[in-house]
A and B are shown apart, each in its own frame.
Chain A
Amino acid sequence: MLILIPLIGAIITLFMGGSKQKYAKYVAAVFTLITLVLTLFMMVNYFEDYSVLGENYAWIQTSLIQISFALEVDGLSILMVFLTALLSLLVVIFSVHDADEDRPNYFHALVLAMEVGLMGVYLAADYFLFYVMWEVTLIPMYFMISWYGGPRRHYAAIKFFIYTHVASLVMLIGIFAMGFQAGTMNGGVVDFSFATINSLMPMTSEAFQALVFALLFFGFAVKMPAVPFHTWLPDAHTEAPTGGSVLLAGVMLKMGSYGIIRVCLEALPLGAEYWQWVIIGIAILSMIYGAYGCIAQTDLKKMVAFSSISHMGMVMLGIGCLTEAGIMFAIFQMFAHGLITGILFMVCGMTGHKVGTREIPLLGGLAGKMPMYALFMMIGFMASLGLPGLVGFWGEFPLIFAFYEFLVEQDLLWMILFCLLSLMLTAGYYLWAMQRTLFGPETTKIDLTHAHDVSKCEGIALAVLVALVAVFGVWPDAALQFIEPYTEWIIGVI
């Protein structure tokens, strides 16, 4: 259902060309809203008994190969599904004015098509379907960047497309290997369902798991993106339209960490143990490099893009601990980061749109001219650097605590310094950027006479996110309750 509705919406909006195109936004809003409401129903339903909800239809069934159209939602995916539904709706609301300038029907069709792919990835319970949906997300994003993006959009779009496509192909090889291995263990029928593969794979040898883990991990790490496979992200973000960036950072990057937990940990626990230090190494590298990268940026949006790399590194760190707390808060951080980057990219988009430039050295003293804008930006930055009381705090500090516990066990306590370094850098670049853009004397380098404050639609979208950031900031348990049963289960697997 959750896939079907945006799909129908995408097809309808696609054909709303010509004079009807100004209504495309309403259609898109209605369809994303229906999806969100359904998601909420599903969450309530799930909350009652924590059972795994799912649908299953036979798809390709031959004597050799069995592929089914299987959908499932559990503690890992449910928050991601919610995030997808929420951000899709907010992107539609936020982009009402921006999108109206140029073929709004296509823009909204692309948003809805993205939603189809993303929902599919998070709901899929069959590797074939998972891979199909994984690739389906690429095409709308490619067009979104190359139609609605900035000046260097063609380069960024093709780089994004090919970079992540190569990674997914490598991942595909890993999927083949798992499928066939499971096929032999299963009596000659190659069955690609999560249930079969994830229950049989942990029984295979360590060498096999380590090899397949490496293939799959590469595919997911590029998506996350982890240093040194991150170079597509800043380009894609800088050039993408605001709505595209929100979806890209808010939900699409999570596909990578979702895949690592869903596939790499569930199916290949020995592989995860084998590569544990590599994961942690890459995670620390991403955190610190991402944060350093932020300091060097002059483009506000590129800075936020690098901060995503740093924060996703933190998610990977949590996963790398392979402890219950680590994984639990890694999932929470995925959710928290989704909400926060939503705010950040919307704010960046507004900077570019209203002020005319996103270059930090050219900006200054915007708080006087655009108070609401400044408020949202401050909340976003504060949440992102982990201010207690906001959702980012519950994403980051328990993660570091989990890592600390892990280090105590390993007797390597000095490594916690890396985390502290990254936290300090994070606080540094956010505060510095804020100081330069919002406060101080009003800039004279650019013409600010046309700078308007937040519009109504943008305000609604931002306010919803800010409210959620605050709610989950004081009451993180609301989200953790969804995650907890899942992490308890997965720790049993590992």
Chain B
Amino acid sequence: MDMTTIFGDYTAFAPMLILMVSALLLPGVQMLTKRRTVTWAFAFVMTIVAMAVNIIMLTGDFTGSSLGLVEYDGFTGLMNALFLAVLFLAVLVSNASVETTRLHVGAYYALMIGATVGMMFVASSSDLLTIFVGVELTSISSYALVALKRNDARSAEAAVKYVIIGGMSTALTLYGISMLYGLTGTTVIADIANNLTEMNWMVAIAFISMIAGYGFKIAAGPFHMWAPDVYEGAATPVSMFLATGSKKMGLAVFIQIFMVLFAAGTTCADIIGEEVQYLFAIIAAITMTVGNIVAIAQNNIKRMLAYSSIAQAGYILIILAVMNEYALTAGLFHMITHVFMKGGAFLIVGALICVGLGEKISDYKGLAKRAPFLAFAMMLFLFSLAGIPPLAGFTSKFFLFSSAIGGVDGVTSQWVWLAFVAILNSAISLYYYARVVKAMYIEKGTTTEKVKIPAAFMVAIVICVLAVIVLGIFPDAVFELCEGAAAVVMG
């Protein structure tokens, strides 16, 4: 099906357009019907429509631009698909989750969809200003989403922390962007890449403040402190949404800006490329190490997953140190597998909260007896995160870590140390994932009463399980999409 016959000049904009319209309509739907489930169904159907449109465009190799603002290509399509998958999972379970029963659901879904539009906007822009706008749209929606649990003190604390740190990072990035604009007279990334011909302290400050600013968004070390509090305080579907979706947006920003700026042959790469690569390598190493080591000490499973998310962002940052097409392919693939394994783990936590189980790891004792399938699924997700074959997390880590050792051009010794750090981290992470598995399977619980979770959660978890297994064993198709997307970004 050709989408241009329906959307005309706005085709590149189509998936976003559908979501935007539904986000605007959602509070009205809630007002008129006063029924939670109707509102949910509307949001859910619109998500599926947007996803279908995007998949048709992606598989049809659509490329084009709208309004001179939004561009759609293989990379955009892939990232859109990823963001929509996150939205799909989050919306799917939201109606069933007890954590959302007392919320204003019209606003809840509108904000979630709005945040997704922001992410997609980021993935479709090639201009610093539009990227900035997209990031802000996502951030502001997320602040409100976290704060929506009005009666919960933890939620309020998380939201305040999130707003303050988010505001600071916004200020930093804006500062960096304005400096770059002052130096080059443009905000189009590809033009900046070739207009920047001279190294001076202004360039350095501009890059540092942008890296720091967007580093906050992906919770890269040492800018990660907010993440565990926010994920712990927010409703679990929201935590899942933030940990898998909005973090990927931050990474997409890095890819969109820095991979283009420092692609081979730009003047920008000549003057500061190597320094920035090293900076990213150090940030990646710090991020994964801090994430993994602190995760060991956590007793709250949401916090543990939050720190493991930080570590995973660290792994993905390897692509910005290595900066070649193979690494980017592997990184994109890891971003996709991460959605399902981390998303699945958060979904199980959310589902168990619905049936009254706590968030402590000790609450999971004996879960294998109480809910064999859930325990098994959780084990799959955690082992996948740790990189145990033949699960998706192993396959994507295999490609990602290997990119630090070499590529199709042979072995490059420059980043081997980074691969070592990553692999040691991977081993550390096995320890805290295995703790949860041990609690579920080996330790005896206080009760053997069976657990029954809402059907919507079950569906979402089954989707994640299938994805984790299929992407692990048959990664071909998705990996090829990633290859295509990486080729687009690297020109």
Interface check A63, CB cutoff 8 A: yes
Interface check B398, CB cutoff 8 A: yes
Interface check A480, CB cutoff 8 A: no
Interface check A368, CB cutoff 8 A: no
* Among B395, B401, B408, B480, contact of A189 (Cβ-Cβ < 8 Å): B408
* Among B389, B416, B434, B483, contact of A64 (Cβ-Cβ < 8 Å): B483
30 A–B contacts from the bound complex (CB under 8 Å)? A60-B474, A60-B476, A60-B479, A62-B479, A62-B480, A65-B399, A131-B389, A132-B390, A132-B394, A136-B390, A138-B388, A139-B388, A143-B441, A146-B438, A147-B442, A154-B438, A161-B430, A162-B427, A162-B431, A169-B424, A169-B426, A170-B423, A172-B398, A172-B423, A173-B401, A176-B419, A177-B405, A181-B410, A184-B409, A189-B408
Interface check B186, CB cutoff 8 A: no
Q: Indicate whether A161 sits within 8 Å of B408 (C-beta atoms), given known contacts A63-B483, A135-B389.
A: no
Give complex CA distance A135, B394 in Å: 10
Interface check B358, CB cutoff 8 A: no
Give complex CA distance A193, B224 in Å: 41
Give complex CA distance A399, B8 in Å: 79
Q: Indicate whether A154 sits within 8 Å of B442 (C-beta atoms), given known contacts A62-B480, A63-B483, A180-B402.
A: yes
Q: Indicate whether A135 sits within 8 Å of B388 (C-beta atoms), given known contacts A62-B479, A176-B419, A183-B408.
A: yes
Residues of A within 8 A of B162 (CB): none
Give complex CA distance A61, B476 in Å: 6
Residues of B within 8 A of A128 (CB): 398
Listed from nearest, the 5 A-B pairs whose CB atoms lie closest are: A180-B406, A184-B410, A132-B389, A176-B405, A176-B402
Interface check B143, CB cutoff 8 A: no
Residues of B within 8 A of A161 (CB): 430, 434
Residues of A within 8 A of B475 (CB): 60
Residues of B within 8 A of A60 (CB): 395, 474-476, 479
Question: Interface code B390-431, partner A: CB below 8 Å = 1, 0 otherwise?
Answer: 100011001101100111111100001001100110110011
Which B residue sits closest to A185, measured CB to CB? B410
A317 to chain B, nearest CB (A): 30
Give complex CA distance A189, B407 in Å: 10
B257 to chain A, nearest CB (A): 25
Interface check B94, CB cutoff 8 A: no
Cβ of B410 and Cβ of A139 under 8 Å apart?
no
Interface check A436, CB cutoff 8 A: no
Which A residue sits closest to B472, measured CB to CB? A132
A25 to chain B, nearest CB (A): 21
Question: Interface code A200-244, partner B: CB below 8 Å = 1, 0 otherwise?
Answer: 000000001000000000000000000000000000000000000
Interface check B329, CB cutoff 8 A: yes
* Among A165, A177, A208, contact of B430 (Cβ-Cβ < 8 Å): A165
- B interface residues (Cβ-Cβ under 8 A, vs A): 326, 329, 383, 388-390, 394-395, 398-399, 401-402, 405-411, 416, 419-420, 423-424, 426-427, 430-431, 434, 438, 441-442, 474-476, 479-480, 483
Which A residue sits closest to B475, measured CB to CB? A60
Q: Indicate whether A176 sits within 8 Å of B390 (C-beta atoms), given known contacts A62-B476, A146-B438, A161-B434.
A: no
Cβ of B423 and Cβ of A180 under 8 Å apart?
no
Residues of A within 8 A of B431 (CB): 158, 162
Interface check A188, CB cutoff 8 A: yes
A84 to chain B, nearest CB (A): 19
Give complex CA distance A208, B410 in Å: 12
Residues of A within 8 A of B383 (CB): 139
- A interface residues (Cβ-Cβ under 8 A, vs B): 60-65, 128, 131-132, 135-136, 138-139, 142-143, 146-147, 154, 158, 161-162, 165-166, 169-170, 172-173, 176-177, 179-181, 183-184, 188-190, 208
Residues of B within 8 A of A177 (CB): 405-406, 411
Residues of B within 8 A of A65 (CB): 399
Cβ of A173 and Cβ of B423 under 8 Å apart?
yes
Give complex CA distance A138, B405 in Å: 25
Q: Indicate whether A136 sits within 8 Å of B405 (C-beta atoms), given known contacts A60-B475, A176-B419, A177-B411.
A: no
Which A residue sits closest to B443, measured CB to CB? A154
Residues of B within 8 A of A63 (CB): 483
- Please report the number of residue pairs spanning A and B whose Cβ atoms sit closer than 8 angstroms: 97
Which A residue sits closest to B482, measured CB to CB? A62
B138 to chain A, nearest CB (A): 32
* Among A158, A176, A181, contact of B401 (Cβ-Cβ < 8 Å): A176
Task: Please give 12 more A-B residue pairs, beta carbons under 8 A apart, in addition to A64-B483, A180-B405, A181-B406.
Answer: A60-B479, A62-B483, A132-B389, A158-B431, A161-B434, A165-B427, A170-B423, A172-B398, A173-B423, A177-B411, A181-B410, A184-B408
B415 to chain A, nearest CB (A): 11
Give complex CA distance A173, B408 in Å: 16
The interface residues of chain A, by DSSP majority, are classed as helix
A463 to chain B, nearest CB (A): 35
Give complex CA distance A346, B381 in Å: 36
Give complex CA distance A61, B475 in Å: 9
Give complex CA distance A189, B326 in Å: 12
Cβ of A190 and Cβ of B408 under 8 Å apart?
yes
Residues of A within 8 A of B419 (CB): 173, 176
Which A residue sits closest to B383, measured CB to CB? A139
Give complex CA distance A169, B410 in Å: 20
Give complex CA distance A158, B390 in Å: 20
Give complex CA distance A161, B474 in Å: 26
A65 to chain B, nearest CB (A): 7
A375 to chain B, nearest CB (A): 38
Residues of B within 8 A of A208 (CB): 411
* Among B388, B408, B442, B480, contact of A188 (Cβ-Cβ < 8 Å): B408
Cβ of B405 and Cβ of A173 under 8 Å apart?
yes
Cβ of B388 and Cβ of A166 under 8 Å apart?
no
Give complex CA distance A147, B369 in Å: 13
Give complex CA distance A162, B433 in Å: 11
Residues of B within 8 A of A180 (CB): 402, 405-408, 410-411
Give complex CA distance A188, B408 in Å: 5
A241 to chain B, nearest CB (A): 14
B364 to chain A, nearest CB (A): 15
Which B residue sits closest to A204, measured CB to CB? B411
Which B residue sits closest to A135, measured CB to CB? B389
Give complex CA distance A220, B405 in Å: 20
Give complex CA distance A176, B416 in Å: 11
Residues of B within 8 A of A165 (CB): 427, 430
Cβ of B479 and Cβ of A158 under 8 Å apart?
no
Residues of A within 8 A of B394 (CB): 132, 135
Which A residue sits closest to B410, measured CB to CB? A184
Give complex CA distance A208, B412 in Å: 12
Q: Indicate whether A64 sits within 8 Å of B427 (C-beta atoms), given known contacts A176-B419, A180-B402.
A: no
Cβ of B389 and Cβ of A176 under 8 Å apart?
no
Kindly name the residue among B329, B406, B411, B434 whose own CB sees the greatest number of chain A CB atoms within 10 A. B411
Residues of B within 8 A of A172 (CB): 398, 401, 423
Cβ of B408 and Cβ of A169 under 8 Å apart?
no
Residues of A within 8 A of B326 (CB): 64
B381 to chain A, nearest CB (A): 14
Q: Indicate whether A173 sits within 8 Å of B442 (C-beta atoms), given known contacts A132-B394, A181-B411, A184-B409.
A: no
Residues of A within 8 A of B410 (CB): 180-181, 183-184
Give complex CA distance A180, B415 in Å: 14
Give complex CA distance A143, B419 in Å: 29
A489 to chain B, nearest CB (A): 28
Residues of A within 8 A of B442 (CB): 146-147, 154
Give complex CA distance A207, B119 in Å: 47
Give complex CA distance A396, B215 in Å: 60
B462 to chain A, nearest CB (A): 17
Residues of A within 8 A of B405 (CB): 173, 176-177, 180
Give complex CA distance A64, B479 in Å: 10
Give complex CA distance A176, B426 in Å: 16
A121 to chain B, nearest CB (A): 12
Residues of B within 8 A of A135 (CB): 388-389, 394
Give complex CA distance A142, B430 in Å: 13
